[in-house]
Amino acid sequence: MIKFSGRNHSMLKKIAFIGSGELAESLLKGFLAKNFVSADRVWMNNRSNKGRLNDLEKKYHVHITSDKKTAIEGAEAVILAFRPGNTREALEGIKGYLTVDQLVISLMVGVPSVFINKAVGKKLQIVRAMPNTSASIGLSATGIAPGEFVSGKLLDTAVDMFETVGTATVVEEKEIDVIAGLSGSGPAYLYYLAEAMQRAGIREGISGEAATRLVLQTLKGATQLLEQSGESAEDLLKAVATPSGTTQAGIDTLDRHNVRDAVADCVHQAIVRAEEMSAPFSE
């Protein structure tokens, strides 16, 4: 894996989102907040949910359209953000409008770039990206995998886009399923932990408000210390879990429940599911 730094490309004149779900909105929100693109240069499209499009227009002041030709034509970057199960139908509906000089960014889990090119009958410049919903606050961890025909210039543009909303790590396409299970789904694992800790605090007698406040600040402080201290997670754990102390008692309990193994299996099963989702699109 190679981490790239941004190259400060000029603002794109038009970006089209084909699909407007939660991940698309997270990216949109992040791009606008970081001034990567202005709202008047963004077009949002989905298959049939006009109410959703109207909400996005009202909230972000972007262009909306149910017509895919209107959304795609003239766009320098087209972001495919529809559900993998809708891939064949969706690609059939847009293949006539996509061009080989556009940057096509696919957010779809399990859909290889070779399948997309075959479905549209063109050598599109595809980049597969696996961000997470933390993009909405500029803190996504995104894996980026270049397809066969993407130019270095457009790959750089894709990296810049996602570094605007967090970090971008370029990987080989065969590794993108790992990214999906590790960082793509990763925020949910921390939400799960936060919820469990909050419930534990409430069970032990403190208010829900106090439990939430304490847990959120604890997670925030721990992640920032891990990032800024230069020490590994293992070293920080050893430093705080002194023998016979309260922290060590808690860690011993986690070990008895094999939590490390459970986390590893959690990530593995997410990766397995990503691989299963790719099966229908394999040649």
| DSSP SS3 for 146 | strand
Measured in residues, the chain has a length of: 283
Helices (H), 34-175: 50-60, 68-72, 87-94, 113-120, 152-164
Consult the annotation and say whether 19 binds a ligand: yes
Helices (H), 121-203: 152-164, 176-179, 186-203
In angstroms, rounded to a whole number, what is the distance separating the alpha carbons of residues 265 and 234?
19
Consult the annotation and say whether 22 binds a ligand: yes
Consult the annotation and say whether 21 binds a ligand: yes
Consult the annotation and say whether 64 binds a ligand: no
Consult the annotation and say whether 18 binds a ligand: yes
The answer to whether residues 98 and 123 touch, using CB atoms and an 8 Å cutoff, is no
Consult the annotation and say whether 74 binds a ligand: no
Consult the annotation and say whether 88 binds a ligand: no
Consult the annotation and say whether 208 binds a ligand: no
Structure tokens at 215: 């847990």
In angstroms, rounded to a whole number, what is the distance separating the alpha carbons of residues 144 and 222?
27
The answer to whether residues 83 and 48 touch, using CB atoms and an 8 Å cutoff, is no
Query: Which residues are part of a known binding site?
Result: 18-23, 81-84
Residue list, annotated binding site for NADP(+): 18-23, 81-84
